[in-house]
Amino acid sequence: MADAHVYRQAFKAEALSRNPKLDLNTGSIADVFAGINALAWERQSRKLEYLLREASLDSAKDRISELAEIELAEGPRPERRGTGTVVFRRPTAAAGSGTIWAGTRVLLSSSGTQSVLVRVTADVDLPANGLAVSAPIEALEVRSAISAASGAPLDVLFDSSLQALDASVSAGEVAEATPVFLARVAQERIADRIGYAAAIEQACLDAGADEAIAIESTYGNGELGLNHVVVSKGGAYTQALIDACRIAVDSVAACGTDVAVKGMSSQPLVISAEVVVWDRTKVDVPQATEAANRLVVEYFTDIKRSILWTNEAIRALIARPFRGVKSVRLTSSAQPTGTLFSGASAIRWQVTSLGVKVING
């Protein structure tokens, strides 16, 4: 599609001409309107281009997949059949020695599962005095896993008394469809994008942290002016962990930006609430109390909220399952700080006890 510059040049070629008597072009005043029109035409052409792409996307997926394969040097994941082992056993060694050839088919069945057709993938020799031998197998179709299976060979063996026992086959995997492949590639590209929050968090996890959460500069009171990532290991942090994460973050953060790494420690929090209602008889106290406990626990599961929690938020969560609430009186073992960081680190508050008492007001 042509851009605005091309449209404007086309206008000049048709509407403007050199005036030999004056140092100007005839029709120059119209050049002002040509610029506006050129922008409008470019916008329209791009709209048509996007509509065309949208309309032809379904039919073009195979071509898009080919281009993705060329760029990424990989394509959709092929079909993967389950593999495993089977034991061929016979009651006597009267038939002597022999070979179970690769390609021998066996129909296996197990209690509660459908039969699975497999084949031996390598030649296996059974000595003259041997009664059993293990052989590698592969499913001939994509099926779910099967274990403790048994069956009979479908092909002729050197000893007709051989039976297939103690077989196990792993689950197979169907071939990856083109739309699924494209979606996976797009998600992987996003995850690998420089400065992406998930990549920053993963870099810290790879550096030794067992918890890492990126906190944007606008979170909370919005006065930080700096992006942060807080890390911890076993509910605490060390300077060595912070240093390792700082080095790791440099490889995934966008150039020219700063991401400060700070430690995070866990602290227990005990909360007691007294819910005052107008009429206690109209409240299912056990059910409402259980729901209130669940809401508060879910609230503190979010690391950022557990750092910057507020009394107002807890009161609202506890009051939500109750009817006719007059007030919620809240006491806790610690008060919210109102800031993300206490000095050089953050505190993640974890509720270890929550008591809710319901009374008539």
Same domain, 198 and 148: no
SS3 287: helix
Question: Does 73 map to a domain?
Answer: no
User: How far apart are alpha carbons 127 and 98 in whole angstroms?
Assistant: 7
Same domain, 126 and 162: yes
Same domain, 257 and 271: no
Same domain, 229 and 280: no
- DSSP assignment string, 47-59: HHHHHHHHHHTTT
CA nearest neighbour of 352 among 234, 291, 267: 267
Answer yes or no: are the C-beta atoms of 252 and 195 closer than 8 Å. yes
pLDDT tens, residue by residue, 38-59: 667 777 777 776 666 555 545 5
Q: In sequence order, what are the beta bridge partners of 358?
A: 275
Same domain, 238 and 312: no
Question: Does 117 map to a domain?
Answer: yes
Higher pLDDT: 18 or 349? It is 349
Same domain, 257 and 289: no
Give strand ranges (E) for 143-215: 146-153, 163-169, 211-215
Written as six digits, the tokens of 7 are 């449209």
Same domain, 304 and 252: no
Same domain, 269 and 333: yes
For the entire predicted model, the pTM comes to: 0.49
- The DSSP H or E segment spanning 270 is strand 259-277
Top mean pLDDT of 21-30, 153-162, 175-184 is at 153-162
Same domain, 314 and 326: yes
Using the 3D structure, point to which of 263, 291, 312 is the last residue of a domain.
Answer: 263
Q: How many structural domains are present in the chain?
A: 4
User: How far apart are alpha carbons 6 and 19 in whole angstroms?
Assistant: 24
Same domain, 285 and 240: no
Answer yes or no: are the C-beta atoms of 126 and 88 closer than 8 Å. yes
Average of per-residue pLDDT values in the chain: 81
pLDDT over 60 (residue 199): yes
Weakest-pLDDT range from 26-35, 104-113, 117-126, 321-330: 26-35
Task: Tell me the average pLDDT across 210-220.
Answer: 83
Q: How high is the pLDDT of residue 359? A: 87
Question: Does 135 map to a domain?
Answer: yes
Weakest-pLDDT range from 54-68, 190-204, 317-331: 54-68
Question: Does 185 map to a domain?
Answer: no
The residue range of the domain holding 219 is 194-263
Same domain, 278 and 329: yes
* Radius of gyration (C-alpha) of the chain in whole angstroms: 35
Question: Does 141 map to a domain?
Answer: yes
* pLDDT band at residue 1 under the 50/70/90 scheme: very low
Contacts with 28 (C-beta within 8 Å, 6 or more apart), sequence order: 16
Higher pLDDT: 48 or 108? It is 108
Question: Does 284 map to a domain?
Answer: yes
pLDDT tens, residue by residue, 239-287: 999 999 999 988 887 765 678 899 999 999 999 999 998 988 888 889 9
Same domain, 44 and 108: no
Answer yes or no: are the C-beta atoms of 277 and 326 closer than 8 Å. yes
